[in-house]
Amino acid sequence: MSKKHFRNKPHPERGESARARGAAAEGVVVETQPRGAYALLADYERRSLAHDPGVPEQIEAPGLWRAIGFRVGDRYFASGIDEISEILISPPPVTSIPSTRPWLLGVANVRGNLIAVVDLKQFLFEQRTHITSRARVLVVKQAGGNVGLLVDELVGQRNMTDADRAGAEGEADPGLARFVTENVTMGAMRLGRFSMVELTHAAEFQHAAL
């Protein structure tokens, strides 16, 4: 092998570490992509911080509320990022359970764990969700095991401050008022602040049997 060819051959000890050092020298942040259950949440948070200068310094500021926005029918809601333990990009196959409410779609096996899957639109509005490529399942902790909530679409992370909430309005729909503490307008979007805790504690949600 010629010396010229040997010099042009990549050194076995170089590679990603060398490129990372070069990127660091140029002021480029080299990110490690998260894997596992929280990858999507971490991705929303990373993109949100990247487009909101100053947020890292304010991330623990009093009055700042970090949430995940989602759509159910024609309504947009947001729930605290600490209330959602996982997001399933594709609704999993479910096994139906006889003699249960229509909104309880059944149980699904998610990495060896059985979770109940609920059609949130059918529970809230008595309208069945038509599953599209945008549909997601929000996994929420509750007593006795996790539950997956089928929603029409995810709209990403929202950072809400006290200033954003200054003009908040109450919920006019009595059927939602138990779960939606307030409605906040952010840009062109009106978001209902949705409590997963109140949802999972509701008597009718806990008793799905007919």
Per-residue pLDDT in tens (0 to 9) along the chain, 210 residues? 544 444 444 444 444 444 444 444 444 333 344 455 456 565 655 555 454 444 444 455 678 999 999 999 999 999 999 999 999 999 999 999 999 999 999 999 999 999 999 999 999 999 999 999 999 999 999 888 899 999 999 999 999 999 999 999 999 999 999 999 999 999 999 999 999 999 999 999 999 999
Give residue 103's identity as a one-letter amino acid code. Answer: W
Q: Give domain limits for the chain.
A: 35-206
pTM of the model: 0.73
Asked whether the beta carbons of 135 and 152 are under 8 A apart, the reply is yes
Strands 113-119 and 147-151: parallel
- What lies within 8 Å, CB to CB, of 38 at 6+ separation is 86
Rounded-to-integer distance, Cα 107 and Cα 53, Å:
42
Rounded-to-integer distance, Cα 136 and Cα 86, Å:
10
Rounded-to-integer distance, Cα 72 and Cα 30, Å:
36
Rounded-to-integer distance, Cα 177 and Cα 27, Å:
49
Rounded-to-integer distance, Cα 106 and Cα 206, Å:
14
Topology, domain 35-206: OB fold (Dihydrolipoamide Acetyltransferase, E2P) (2.40.50)
Residue ranges in 77-177 assigned as alpha helix (H): 120-125
Phi, psi of 119 (to 5 degrees): -80, 105
